[in-house]
Amino acid sequence: MGIVVQKYGGSSLADAASIKRVARRITEAKKAGNDVVVAVSAMGDSTDELLELAEGVSPLPPARELDMLLTAGERISMALVAMAISDLGFTARSFTGSQAGVITDSVHGKAKIIDVTPGRIRDAIADGHIVIVAGFQGVSQDTKEITTLGRGGTDTTAVALAAALGADVCEIYTDVDGVFTADPRIVRSARKLDRVSYEEMLELAACGAKILHLRCVEYARRYTIPIHVRSSFSHKEGTWVMDPAEGDTMEQAIIAGIAHDRSEAKITVVGVPDKVGYAARIFEALAAAQINLDMIVQNISAAATSLTDISFTLPRTDGATAMKALDALKDEIGLASLMYDDKIGKISLIGAGMRSHPGISAKFFSAIAAAGVNIEMISTSEIRISVVVDEAQVDAAVAAAHTAFDLDADEGEAVVYGGSGR
């Protein structure tokens, strides 16, 4: 008998009928002889609704109280799923993140998991119960306050539980049949991947693919937890996220897929003096404000003025905070101006096979140009090429690149069962 950890997102738990369907799925795994632990998200769009409610009460709600509010969504889900399982003749025990032993740092809104001490979960499993855990949340090791892990945090909760329990697999249930070569909401001809490596999935997640949370994939790679991404609306085989088996000689596909992200903004710091330490001061100020940067481009200094411009992308939600931190540096460093653009989108081409295949960049840029899309920034890694374009042109660029690299499925269209992406 092995341990299976399952995760169900909001689209899979949208209403009472959906919860009953999920409960049947969970009990099927139990009937198959597995010990089952389940991490659940809030129902449907509950988290967004709670955020709107908070903003209606206070334009800047205290971070501690916001976490207390937002964790209510997952607690509702866990109790309802446990009730539905009970009606099917099985016993279930629901636990909040803190009760389940999910220990985090003390950063409200985007806490990181430090440890998982699943004593109560193990006891419940030993007593024959199915265990339901509220995802997205934990308790701070230092302050003992309730914390949240940020958007997509239930994915991370599930993989962290799988690692702590030594589970055989972590099944991530969503509203599509697996990981596709592009978002099937944009490219209906996107092809489902049977398997993708941790390395490629990390890049896909980091570049905007909503199917898995970035920290979830990082956790899985660190502890070698196989992830099976599949739909809760069908029983089709999904996509396995795992490293290739030793001795597997199957040739790596050149391109795994294309990801896009509309959640970023671009800031350009104009007129930075070309002196030692000035760029460091800019990025130190952003780090102190707890802002994660993505793409960074610095222009060559103008010979006449010895000034340069630095552009970077960051989460759109952090835009105001970043501008405030940089504005405080204007007099100290002597910056000419700050430019902010939140109407951008990022498109990324990802594939471990591109390491050994020349001409990938030229083909990618040519496809985007042929679609009439202008590129504003470029960033690359060993297995990724990312570009920033106008937000309104993202769909056209994704579709053009997808076709250029022959990623379209031979027949049929990808099915999106729920619509939210999780």
Exposed, middle or buried by CB within 10 Å (0-12, 13-18, 19+), for 120? Answer: middle
Query: 148-169 pLDDT, tens per residue?
Result: 998 889 999 999 999 999 999 9
216: Cβ–Cβ under 8 A, 6 or more apart, which residues?
Answer: 152, 155, 156, 158, 159, 172, 205, 227
Q: Which of 81, 140, 142 is nearest to 110 (CA)?
A: 140
Structural domain spans, the chain:
3-247, 256-406
Q: Give the domain 3-247 fold.
A: Carbamate kinase (3.40.1160)
Q: Which residue blocks in 8-62 are alpha helix, DSSP H?
A: 16-31, 46-57
Give ∠ CA 166-104-84 in degrees, rounded to 5.
Answer: 60
- pLDDT score at 250: 46
- pLDDT score at 303: 66
Tell me which residues of the chain have a pLDDT lower than 50.
247, 249-251, 420-422
Q: pTM here?
A: 0.86
367 and 361 in contact (C-beta within 8 Å)? no
187: Cβ–Cβ under 8 A, 6 or more apart, which residues?
Answer: 180, 181, 258, 398, 399, 402, 408, 414
CA–CA dist 244, 234 (Å, integer): 26
Instruction: Give how far Cα 208 sits from Cα of 25, 74, 143, 212, 340, Å.
Output: 29, 24, 32, 9, 21
- pLDDT score at 248: 55
- pLDDT score at 152: 84
* Residue 77 token pair: 């889900």
Taken in order 172, 174, 178, 182, the sign of the CA dihedral is negative
CA–CA dist 125, 131 (Å, integer): 7
Query: 92-106 pLDDT, tens per residue?
Result: 999 999 999 999 999
- pLDDT score at 331: 85
- pLDDT score at 1: 64
256-406: CATH number: 3.30.2130.10
- pLDDT score at 354: 86
Q: Which residue blocks in 32-128 are alpha helix, DSSP H?
A: 46-57, 63-87, 119-126
- pLDDT score at 368: 96
- pLDDT score at 247: 47
